[in-house]
Amino acid sequence: MSHSIVSADALLSFCVACFKKLGLNSEDAQITAENLVFANLRGVDSHGVIRLKVYADRLEAGGFRVRSNRRIISEGDAFALMDADHGVGQVAGLEAMRLAIGKAEKAGVGFVAVKNSNHFGAAAFYALRAVERGMIGLAATNAGASMAPTGGRVGRLGNNPVSIAIPSGKYPPVVLDMATGAVAWGKIFVAQQENKKIPTTWALDKHGNPTDDPNAAAQGGLIQPFGGYKGYGLSFLIDILTGVLSGGGFSTHVKSLYQNLDSASHVAQSFAAINIAGFMPLADFQSRVDQIIDLMHQCPAAPGTERIYVPGEIEHEMEQRRRIEGIPINATLKDELSTLGAKLGVPFPL
Amino acid sequence: MSHSIVSADALLSFCVACFKKLGLNSEDAQITAENLVFANLRGVDSHGVIRLKVYADRLEAGGFRVRSNRRIISEGDAFALMDADHGVGQVAGLEAMRLAIGKAEKAGVGFVAVKNSNHFGAAAFYALRAVERGMIGLAATNAGASMAPTGGRVGRLGNNPVSIAIPSGKYPPVVLDMATGAVAWGKIFVAQQENKKIPTTWALDKHGNPTDDPNAAAQGGLIQPFGGYKGYGLSFLIDILTGVLSGGGFSTHVKSLYQNLDSASHVAQSFAAINIAGFMPLADFQSRVDQIIDLMHQCPAAPGTERIYVPGEIEHEMEQRRRIEGIPINATLKDELSTLGAKLGVPFPL
């Protein structure tokens, strides 16, 4: 499939303008747009502007509240609980991450749970905010039920992701950002848009059979957990640490981004920060992280391996390249965004 | 292979007596013995009394310091850093977990990192201490390098485990306790002792080839990470959150329990507690956990599945059974423990 190339700046401006037309204030529009373009820049196209259309649909239908009244329900020296009032997940997420960082500045650790939130895009976006402040950051979310527990055949858990970001010295930050499914759900949408088959370990169809057809997976199918029962266990624990602990939705109470556009999705998230200064000077820590990265890079390679990576390295290099070369947008997505832009009165930059 | 049965009480008394003969004070001997028998009770025999012999060897050779001088290097409202002075990992681990719980009582969250520790046995032992206090508990450790990064063929990371334990209501606590390898290293030792083959997805031999021979795996081989690069990523992050952050050993600096018995192993651990009371009344939380457990149990089953479990459930049921029926000890292990007991002047209870 042919791709067009759009600069990150142009794509960001387009998204910001769309979100403003949809009623978000300038700051909220900027945060949400930055999160989407961040994902595209890092090569995580499944969480990038491919989501803009459904965000627009939910903002118009009411599933995302344009004007929400976020509030802190309870807090202490090292924790807080936020009610996001069904606003945009990115806006609540960034505020919660900043709150966790602020707690960690004083207490050493901060943990913030958020209920009544929404899809928050790429989790690394939040975890990396802690890195900017010399901290370790963590962000996790639950999601609409798309995976069965091990031995089951009906969705009971989301493809719940967690991101942990670590400050480094001479190397880019270490950024783990992984879903607990064998694959990010959005990658199946990308395969749909690009008319490609998927590996049979990614998903089940609606009958519970493995499938290589992204359409069969998307039409009532399920993601398989990664690594068998351990992936199930991690997804289950993330749901407890987000949805159950926050007082928000969990398991089947969380609704998919793509269904019931006018209704709350009951997504919940958690954010944590650990202030490295409590343990050692930041420069010492950064040097130690560089050392462990070196130990991975210098590991003798298995036959067929040219280079060994640490988490976040591939995405960082992609970001460097795409900041210069621009972001590829496939023809289906280009049509979708152009149509959306035309409807909102925002010309798509192609 | 034939098994003998020993009651948990008799096995505990035997271990306590051995540890006292080896020089531990009564409290430390009790803690360490309880940790080993806890693993056997829960069916995690790879972390049970199969480790007693090497613990004894290290206590005698000096790799575990009989009398250690643990100290808090730094602390704040929600965190602490402990130097375990190369004492027994279980003793340092329990103290660190209690410290995390104490921090969480006041600040809402507590996080404690420990350096210069040692093998601490089953991680769930610590995480469950938080559950006893109405909190969520987390315990993680690094370990001697036995896994390669994805694409590598030499050990650079331990089969680093993490446990998270969650208070529940009518059901047993949810307890995730998983290593980041495809299998716990100790299960390969069990297979060795029982002369059984292992699945080829568990380990590589010393040449980097998959093997079904537990001896080939144990003789310079490597565990494979679970779930491919995601398991590698989790193991790498656990090493950073334990070894790198604590100022202790990480990657190849951490030594195996079974090598250099007279030398420090430079193991590092981290412990965290989240006080549920900050978020909602404990009873409400417990009810919500019961609800999510029900949602898993009641999920329609895939063909061939009789029952769907949540993490920790199988181990809990095993514990109930073994408390009544006793703990099976295979002939090789019985010989090893009997010989150790004879040497220390503690009769093995068979």
Half-sphere exposure of B162 (CA within 13 A, CB side): 21
Residues A337 and A281 in one domain: no
- CATH code, domain with A217: 3.30.60.50
Interface of A with B in 267-296 (CB under 8 A): 272, 274-276, 278-280, 284-285, 288-289, 291-292, 295-296
Domain extent for A344: 1-61+316-350
Mean pLDDT of A223-241: 95
How many CB atoms are closer than 10 A to CB B132? Answer: 12
Mean pLDDT of B176-182: 95
Residues B148 and B8 in one domain: no
A305 located within any domain? no
Residues A212 and A238 in one domain: no
Comparing CA positions, the residue from A131, A165, A134, A110 lying closest to residue A315 is A165
Question: pTM above the 0.90 mark?
Answer: yes
**pLDDT band at residue B253 under the 50/70/90 scheme:** very high
Residues B109 and B234 in one domain: yes
Is A345 an interface residue toward B (CB < 8 Å)?
Answer: no
A173 located within any domain? yes
Q: Alpha-carbon distance B14 to B337, whole Å?
A: 9
Tell me, what's the pLDDT at A176?
98
- CATH code, domain with B150: 3.30.1370.60
- CATH code, domain with B346: 1.10.1530.10
**A76-80, A303-307, B132-136: segment of lowest average pLDDT:** A303-307
The mean pLDDT value of chain A amounts to: 95
Q: Alpha-carbon distance B290 to A291, whole Å?
A: 44
C-beta separation of B242 from B271 below 8 A: no
Ramachandran angles phi, psi of B89, nearest 5°: -60, -35
Q: Alpha-carbon distance A270 to A246, whole Å?
A: 8
Tell me, what's the pLDDT at B1?
56
Residue B185 has pLDDT above 90, yes or no: no
Residues B269 and B160 in one domain: yes
Half-sphere exposure of A14 (CA within 13 A, CB side): 23
Q: Which of A169, A196, A224 is the last residue of a domain?
A: A224
Ramachandran angles phi, psi of B166, nearest 5°: -130, 130
Mean pLDDT of A7-16: 98
Cross-chain residue pair A237–B311, CB shorter than 8 Å: yes
B89 located within any domain? yes
B150-164: pLDDT as tens digits? 989 999 999 999 999
B160 located within any domain? yes
**B1-10, B26-35, B262-271, B324-333: segment of lowest average pLDDT:** B1-10
Mean pLDDT of A223-244: 95
Tell me, what's the pLDDT at A1?
56
**How many domains is chain B partitioned into structurally?**
2
Which residues of chain B are within 8 Å of residue A228 when distances are taken between CB atoms?
226-227
Tell me, what's the pLDDT at A73?
98
Q: Is B208 helix (H, G, I), strand (E, B) or coil?
A: coil
Interface of A with B in 151-190 (CB under 8 A): 151-154, 156, 164, 166, 174, 176, 178
Q: Alpha-carbon distance B299 to A62, whole Å?
A: 31
B199-251: pLDDT as tens digits? 887 888 888 788 899 999 999 889 889 988 999 999 999 999 999 999 999 99
Residues B48 and B147 in one domain: no
Tell me, what's the pLDDT at A65?
98
Residues A249 and A162 in one domain: yes
In angstroms and rounded to an integer, the radius of gyration of the C-alpha atoms of chain B is: 20
How many CB atoms are closer than 10 A to CB B274? Answer: 28
Residues B12 and B124 in one domain: no
Residues A99 and A232 in one domain: yes
B131 located within any domain? yes
Mean pLDDT of A202-216: 86
Instruction: Kindly list the catalytic residues of A.
Output: 119
A307 located within any domain? no
Which residues of chain A are within 8 Å of residue B305 when distances are taken between CB atoms?
151-152
Tell me, what's the pLDDT at A185?
75
Residues A111 and A129 in one domain: yes
Residues B287 and B331 in one domain: no
Residues A147 and A249 in one domain: yes
Helix H or strand E encompassing A177: strand A174-179
**A183-192, A212-221, A271-280: segment of lowest average pLDDT:** A183-192
Residue A83: beta bridge partners?
A71, A115
The mean pLDDT value of chain B amounts to: 95
Q: Which residues contact B306 (CB under 8 A, 6 or more apart)?
A: none
How many CB atoms are closer than 10 A to CB B1? Answer: 10
B195 located within any domain? no
A123 located within any domain? yes
Q: Which of A204, A224, A244 is the last residue of a domain?
A: A224
Mean pLDDT of A81-109: 98
